[in-house]
Chains A and B, each alone.
Chain A
């Protein structure tokens, strides 16, 4: 028994050096060569960081495309989903209110055109994407507030739609931050 205890302690120490020292250092070194040098890919405008490419941020102004509802208000220092069950009455009320808000801001929008992702909270609370349909329903509003031709905005949305991986696997997505940045570019 005593033999095992001493062996265990010595083995733990030597493995700690290998697994908690050498291994992460190699990974950190390799990661230094990635986009963003291992600190996450940042997006800058006029030399200022305006966000992280992978992290969604809150868009509530009508001249921007909106992202998905977030249970944590897009707090990137503490992620979180709503964890509401499908039958929870409070939750269903919340979804219903979100639908009403969308209908209010988008005259002429039909309920059946609203995609689920625009009225449900994401898993992380930081979802950077919306579905193409989620952007499509907002084109009219964004164009109106920016006094732009709807066609130009629609083209921009199409340009920012990323198809499935290799054209074969997974859903199509739109990065809301990148789309909104491109919108601001037009204005100039």
Chain B
């Protein structure tokens, strides 16, 4: 096996070696059992005391959701104003300007919802202050929001019948103090010692070997890059994200960043099974997710390692694979792996430019974001998966003619309706959003916006359509990567994706938690011979089939118009 493929294997194995024990640890932390990090308790007590929170106060699902929405609203308002007036605030050595209202609107939503779609460029669009108090702050708290929401959800299935789902604030703060902050510290130091800058100095200038004067953007990036990956956020310090040599200096940092973004999503799946005392269910879910990942990864690798068919015709050598938009120190293999994990998990950081990947790779990236639950984002991945699971329970119930049950609770009309609505939301937002953009592009080409619709697209034809489809899909999935050729910093894209981001974040969190809350308070029915078991291989296959069918039905036409059409035109 060549060294590039070996790199992928090693990275994935290292991920598992860290993620599985981490899952066990998380289950203990959130169950309130004794763990070695209990020495941090005084810190947490202090935080609760200052905030006036009683972490022992039990909440039902509605109270937990109210707490979550309130704190998110506070962040939205606070962030909006800081971004607009960042030029008047301190720590702006490069003299960057304040944001326009529509860009501030888009940016703060994007960071609050764990997406990090960036319609600005890090070097010129934000200050060191906003990189800290907005970008990095939101990276911690948006990820902790997702994890805390998932733990509220876990709670509903731990006891036989319960309305008490723990304290949202308690889970939220512990996700930061016991998980995100310590891991970020370790990772930031590793990055710093491999060449990522940490100092607060502004731009530097030097004269190159050939005599050109070169300006260099820098800044304290290491701390943000750590949480950007651990929290599946993905927003870069620099414009080109983790393909930038200071953001991702070498193969070691590349491995660390790749491992970091996958460990918490996998750990949450493992933690779920331990927490509700049904480990087998966890392994079935993990199995389905892993098979899903491989089914996206293998064709991606094949497309990227095969190189560009158009360049092949020019007679040059593509021994390692397609190189446009990729960095030599990573190579096409690990870049392909990165593009798969960053799209199935909602990280959205990139170490190569997705816009320049092969047409079929683009299709797999889009599909990964459309499904959005093969591991998925921090906390929200398992919530997204749960929706598919409820649909699978319902369909299986219909097939065998019994009332569908999940973990001893009857799944009835109300729960299925919620699941169905959440399932329909994604295709609605993605397809309607893309249709609207295409309509504006063709009919209002001259609209007087910061970027006129006629200059939106960096590529003609089918690939241009893919650029718009990708942007909306990435927003809905709260992913944040982009086909970055798209001219997206104008009022249309800022507002459209702003709303898609909000809906695509909060409804898919509230939906599963509502279902869990409703199920949790129902009478517990002991297992019998007629119970549909959800922790079997058969049921895993059933869930997989549901995921496949739902997504194929929803998205095949859109994918056919974009990446698939481009692929076939390149064949001839």
Q: A residues engaging B (CB < 8 A)?
A: 1, 4-16, 18-20, 23-24, 26-28, 30-42, 48-61, 64, 68, 74-89, 91-92, 95-96, 99, 111-117, 119-131, 133-134, 164-165, 167-171, 173, 177, 180-181, 184
Give the distance in Å from the alpha carbon of A26 to the alpha carbon of B133 in the complex.
16
Given A84-B459, A87-B461, 7 more pairs with CB closer than 8 A: A7-B169, A15-B140, A78-B123, A79-B123, A112-B317, A122-B325, A123-B240
Given contacts A8-B74, A173-B329, A180-B209, whether A20 and B245 have CB atoms under 8 Å apart is: no
B249 CB-CB contact with A under 8 Å: yes
- Do the beta carbons of B323 and A54 come within 8 Å of each other? no
Residues of A within 8 A of B317 (CB): 112-116, 133
User: Which one, A83, A91, A170, contacts B7 given CB within 8 A?
Assistant: A170
- Do the beta carbons of B243 and A124 come within 8 Å of each other? yes
The residue on A at minimum CB distance from B217 is A77
Give the distance in Å from the alpha carbon of A14 to the alpha carbon of B317 in the complex.
56
Given contacts A19-B136, A27-B220, whether A120 and B323 have CB atoms under 8 Å apart is: yes
Residues of A within 8 A of B50 (CB): 10, 13-14
Within 8 A of A (CB), among B309-336: 309-311, 314-331, 334
A and B contact pairs by CB, cutoff 8 A, 14 listed:
A8-B74, A10-B52, A16-B137, A34-B193, A38-B192, A53-B195, A76-B217, A84-B355, A86-B308, A115-B323, A116-B317, A126-B245, A169-B3, A170-B331
- Do the beta carbons of A79 and B189 come within 8 Å of each other? no
Chain B 292-316 interface 0/1 with A at a Cβ cutoff of 8 Å (1 = within)? 0000000000000001111100111
Count of B residues near A, CB < 8 Å? 120
- Do the beta carbons of A81 and B355 come within 8 Å of each other? yes
- Do the beta carbons of A19 and B181 come within 8 Å of each other? yes
Give the distance in Å from the alpha carbon of A159 to the alpha carbon of B466 in the complex.
44
User: Which one, A9, A28, A49, contacts B74 given CB within 8 A?
Assistant: A9
Q: Within the complex, what minimum Cβ distance (angstroms) separates B246 from chain A?
A: 6
Residues of B within 8 A of A13 (CB): 50
Residues of B within 8 A of A16 (CB): 133, 137
Q: B residues engaging A (CB < 8 A)?
A: 3-4, 6-7, 10, 46-47, 50-53, 66-67, 70-71, 73-75, 78, 121, 123-124, 132-133, 136-137, 140-141, 169, 173, 176, 181, 184-185, 188-189, 192-193, 195-201, 203-204, 206-210, 212, 214-218, 220, 222-223, 226, 238-240, 243-246, 249, 251-252, 254-255, 307-311, 314-331, 334, 350-353, 355-359, 458-463, 466, 483-485, 566, 569-570
Among A113, A120, A123, A130, which residue has the most Cβ atoms of chain B within 10 A?
Answer: A123
Give the distance in Å from the alpha carbon of A18 to the alpha carbon of B240 in the complex.
28
- Do the beta carbons of A86 and B216 come within 8 Å of each other? no
Q: Within the complex, what minimum Cβ distance (angstroms) separates B179 from chain A?
A: 13
- Do the beta carbons of B47 and A11 come within 8 Å of each other? yes
Residues of A within 8 A of B198 (CB): 27-28, 30-32, 34, 38
Q: Within the complex, what minimum Cβ distance (angstroms) separates A101 from chain B?
A: 13
Given contacts A58-B208, A83-B483, whether A169 and B10 have CB atoms under 8 Å apart is: yes
Q: Within the complex, what minimum Cβ distance (angstroms) separates B235 from chain A?
A: 15
The residue on A at minimum CB distance from B48 is A11
Q: Within the complex, what minimum Cβ distance (angstroms) separates A2 from chain B?
A: 10
The residue on B at minimum CB distance from A6 is B52
- Do the beta carbons of A123 and B214 come within 8 Å of each other? no
Given contacts A19-B137, A84-B356, whether A30 and B192 have CB atoms under 8 Å apart is: yes
User: Which one, A31, A87, A125, contacts B310 given CB within 8 A?
Assistant: A87
The residue on B at minimum CB distance from A125 is B240
Residues of B within 8 A of A173 (CB): 328-329
User: Which one, A31, A32, A49, A114, contacts B316 given CB within 8 A?
Assistant: A114
- Do the beta carbons of B137 and A58 come within 8 Å of each other? no
Residues of B within 8 A of A164 (CB): 3, 7, 251
- Do the beta carbons of B209 and A27 come within 8 Å of each other? no
Residues of A within 8 A of B199 (CB): 28, 31-32, 37-39
Residues of A within 8 A of B356 (CB): 81-86
Q: Within the complex, what minimum Cβ distance (angstroms) separates A37 from chain B?
A: 7
Give the distance in Å from the alpha carbon of A39 to the alpha carbon of B483 in the complex.
31
Given contacts A1-B70, A83-B353, whether A57 and B215 have CB atoms under 8 Å apart is: no
- Do the beta carbons of A85 and B355 come within 8 Å of each other? yes
